[in-house]
Structure 1
Amino acid sequence: MLAICSRTVYPKNLMPHLLSAVLLFILMLPDPAQGWGRTGHFITGEIAQRHLTPEAAAHVERILGETSLAVATVWMDQVRSQDAFRHTADWHWVTIPDGMRYEEAEHNPNGDVVEAFERQIAALKSGELSPEEERDAFRMVIHMIGDMHQPLHVGTGEDRGGNDVRVQWLGNRSNLHRVWDTDMIESWGLTTTQFTDALLILDEETIAAWKQGGPRDWAHESMVYRSDIYDLPENLELGWEYRNRNFHIVEKRLLQSGLRIAMVINEIYGS
């Protein structure tokens, strides 16, 4: 049973064909700091696509060509190990200790997800980028919004965003970061479209309320969930009980990041 936005969806007969099984295997491969896993980022991109203005959607097609917005959300993870983009490795996360705000925290000299996002947004708004530079900045921005909404990408500075917290997930070795970016989402066995359809049960008032603030506010929102995230059993064996108790947070953050991706794109390209 998948409880989403006060509605209940019962997935039935979700028997994936061979290609889906191969894709699921790939998605489950470890990646210690990728924000949402690929499926999570895909979901944020599909949510965003459904909330673009026609003019903004036309610009997205111009920028990305035949690549969908959903697929473009994972580009920043795909290139992070390439020499040309190694400098972006620290742009996926930010450290804000408990009781502090972003402005009070000690900042990484190589940049962080908040600082890099603000810089890339300014570059996009300048209108001075080449087509290639615009495409790269655009793909970084839509990815970083997702990262800021994955609560463990706003870390305390003590455990690498939960990567150092070794746990068992349904009897398999994992870590707390991976549980939040991938394991809980993948445990439902839903496709990106099925997940997005189930999540997009929102009223206009909620949508309007969530289209507020900026990256520093979104990072501070992620900090609110730390007590729930780190409420772990002594044996560190996590499964259905932990997922069902916390999945509303995953749902909310996926929705908020998707809506805010659309909001940012519409602000830059929608008028």
Structure 2
Amino acid sequence: MKSIYSKILLLAFVASSVYSYAWGLTGHRVIAEIAENHLSGKAKREMKKMLGQERMAYWANWPDFIKSDTTGAWKQASAWHYVNIDPQTDFTAFEKDLKAQAGANLYSQIKVLSSQIKDVKTSEKDRKIALIFLIHMMGDLAQPMHTGRSGDLGGNKINVTYFGDKTNLHSVWDGKLVDSQKYSYTEYAKLLDIKSKDEVKQIQSGTLENWLYDSHQIANKIYAQTPDGSKLSYDYQYKFNDTMERQLLYGGLRLAKLLNDLF
């Protein structure tokens, strides 16, 4: 077991120097850190049994790192990071479309992973992997472009420039907005995690479907204000920084709610 995880970690560190993923390294760690600050006592104890002394932030990017695996062992997991849905008139229409999606996706897999973690028949190794994926994918849920449209692959086909550099809309939201603030993940988590107990309870209310719809509505606003060929710089940061920070905070608090309910 030690050998397996040593190889995984080596792969992770190699991959981190090559790839940029959802929320980037910082964003996923911010969400994991906020979530860990809001775990119940029982959830903390159960998580410690599964993850050992390592904090959630340590594992938060592993499901992106394994995209570098060349054996094909994790190929099926690529579709777990997003669910593409065209704009819907209201929540009812959105939920209907969401549940009609074919194949594994962000929505269906969060439910599968949650069931695996709760199932006493799941092996210790598989339960840990399911937990690590769940930590990451609840972060993906909060990144609006992971609930974007299929026609442009969640903004990947919308070409923009960011401070003069050629990129795409998805990449801007994956990491560039977060990283432009120049905070470490612990600094950012501390700065954002300042809501009252009542506010936290309100943010954590609702269902998984409600949370996905929340991100989807924000994605629609982003699309409307970022057409193909947009030249983005300080004005774009000013316009969307509050939204980006909201999503980091909401992602962390909702991840904590899901984990507390599971344990």
TM-score, with structure 1 as normaliser: 0.83
Aligned-partner residue type, residue 236 of structure 1: S
Deviates more, 1:78-87 or 1:150-159: 78-87
Q: 1:234 to 1:173 in 2, by over 3 A?
A: closer
Q: 1:66, CA displacement in angstroms?
A: 3.4
Matched, 1:79 2:66: yes
SS at match of 2:156: coil
Answer yes or no: is 1:174 the counterpart of 2:167.
Answer: yes
Q: Helix, strand or coil for the counterpart of 1:173?
A: strand
1:228 counterpart (201, 221, 231): 221
Match of 1:160 among 146, 153, 156: 153
Shift of 1:243: 1.0
SS at match of 1:45: helix
Mark the runs of 5 or more structure 2 residues left unpaired by the alignment.
1-14
Equivalence map 1:181-196=2 (5 Å): 181-196=174-189
Quick one: distance in 2 between partners of 1:213 and 1:84?
35
Contact 1:167 1:173 in 2 (8 A): yes
For 2:86, the equivalent position in structure 1 comes to: 97
Contact residue 169 and residue 179 of structure 1 kept, 8 A = yes
> Could you say if the C-alpha distance between residues 59 and 214 of structure 1 is closer, same or farther in structure 2, counting changes exceeding 3 Å?
same
Q: Deviations over 1:144-197 (max 9, x none)?
A: 111111000002111111111111111212211111110011001111111111
Measured on the aligned residues, the alpha-carbon RMSD in Å equals: 1.9
Amino acid at match of 2:110: F
Question: What percentage of residue pairs aligned between the two structures are identical?
Answer: 27
Q: How many residue pairs end up in the alignment?
A: 241
C-alpha separation between the residues in 1 aligned to 2:174 and 2:48? 28
Aligned pair partner of 1:121 in 101, 114, 125? 114
In structure 1, the residue matched to 2:234 is: 240
Structure 1 residue 58, shift from structure 2 partner: 1.9
Task: Judge which range, 70-79 or 177-186, deviates more.
Answer: 70-79
- How much has 1:30 moved relative to structure 2? 4.8
Alpha-carbon contact 1:28-1:182 (below 8 Å) kept = no
What residue is the counterpart of 1:150 in the other structure?
Answer: 143
Q: Is the 8 A contact 2:16 2:65 kept in 1?
A: no
Task: State the one-letter code of the partner of 2:129.
Answer: D
What is the 5 A alignment of 1:208-227? Answer: 208-227=201-220
CA distance in 1, matches of 2:219, 2:255: 24
Aligned to 1:261: 255
CA contact (8 A) 2:87 2:220 kept: no
User: Structure 2 length as normaliser, TM-score?
Assistant: 0.85
- Structure 1, unmatched stretches of 5+, are 1-25
Name the CA distance, whole Å, in 2 between partners of 1:73 and 1:146: 9
- 2: CA distance, partners of 1:244 / 1:28: 29
The answer to whether the 8 Å contact 2:148/2:219 transfers is: no
SS in 1 for 2:101: coil
User: Compared with structure 1, are the counterparts of its residues 38 and 180 closer, same or farther at alpha carbon in structure 2 (3 Å cutoff)?
Assistant: same
Displacement of 1:48 in angstroms is 0.8
1:28 positional shift? 8.5
Partner of 1:6: none
Which residue does 1:134 correspond to in 2?
A: 127
Higher helix share: 2
Query: Would you say the 8 A contact 1:44–1:254 is kept in 2?
Result: yes
Q: Counterpart of 2:199?
A: 206
Separation (CA, whole Å) in 1 of partners of 2:65 and 2:168: 21
Partner residue of 1:38 out of 25, 32, 39: 25
- Contact 1:27–1:37, Cα closer than 8 Å, also in 2: no
| 8 Å Cα contact 1:27-1:39 kept in structure 2 | no
